[in-house]
Amino acid sequence: MFGIGIATSSIAVGNRCPWVRAGVGAVTTQSRTDIRLGPRGLNLLEAGLSARETVDKLVAESEFPEQRQLAAVDRHGNVAFYSGPKITTVNAGFTGTNCVSTGNGLDNDGVPRKMVEYFEAAEDVPFIERLLGAVDAGIAAGGEYGPVKAAALLVAHEHSWPLVDLRVDYEDQPVKKLRTLWELYKPQTEHFITQVLRPYEIPASKF
C-alpha cells in the first residue's frame, strides 16, 4: 500500500495535497500548494524515476520552487522531500524507513520527526492505522501553530482507484473526525471493491 495522512489549518487539504497511485508511490505538494505537481510527480514515479529524482525534477520544473514543499515515496520505498527557502513559516521534513513527513506553519520543527518515529515504531499496527497514528503523533508534538481544521486519509493498494479516500474539509477536531470516518469505512472496504469487480456477489438492497 501507499498512503498519506495529513492535517492542516486550511480548508480541503485532501483535495490539494495528497496524491497516491497503486504500484507507483505517493507524492505530497504543500505550503503554497501547486496541485499540478501531484499528478506530475506520480507520472514521473511511474516512468521509473526515484523519489529523489522525482522531487528534484518537480523543483526544477516549478515556476515558484522557493515557495513549495514536496515529498515523495517511490515503489521501492525510497523517500525524499524538499522545502523551499522562502517558505515564511516554521517548516521541516524528516525521513525514515519507507516513510517521510513534511510540514509548514508548524508549532516547532520537531513535528515531522515525531510522526516518523511513531510510524517506524508501530510495525505491528496495520498500515492505515499507522498513518492515522502518525498524524496523531504530529498533533501531540505541537502540530500547526494555528487551529487544525481539515484532515485527509488517502490510500492506494491493488487497484487503479483509491482503497481509501476520506476527507474532513473544515471542522473542529478534524483528526478525531477522520479516525471516526475510518472506523465506519473500515468494515465496508472489501464491499466497495467487490461491487466494482463482482457486483452480482453483492446482496440486493432493500430501501
**In this structure, what are the phi and psi dihedrals at residue 83, rounded to the nearest 5 degrees?**
-125, 120
Give the mean model confidence (pLDDT) for residues 177-192: 96
Q: What share of the chain is helix, strand, coil (3-state, %, to 5)?
A: 40, 25, 35
Task: Give pTM, 2 decimals.
Answer: 0.95
pLDDT of 203 reads 83
Instruction: Classify domain 2-180 at the CATH superfamily level.
Output: Aminohydrolase, N-terminal nucleophile (Ntn) domain (3.60.20.10)
The set of cell numbers assigned to 96 is 525514515
pLDDT at 204: 78
Percentage, residues of the chain above pLDDT 90: 97
Place of cell 498524524: 135
Mean pLDDT of the chain: 96
Q: Are strands 91-96 and 79-83 parallel, antiparallel or unpaired?
A: unpaired
Q: Work out whether the CA dihedral 50, 84, 36, 29 comes out positive or negative.
A: positive
**Residue 104 predicted with pLDDT over 80:** yes
DSSP state of 184: H
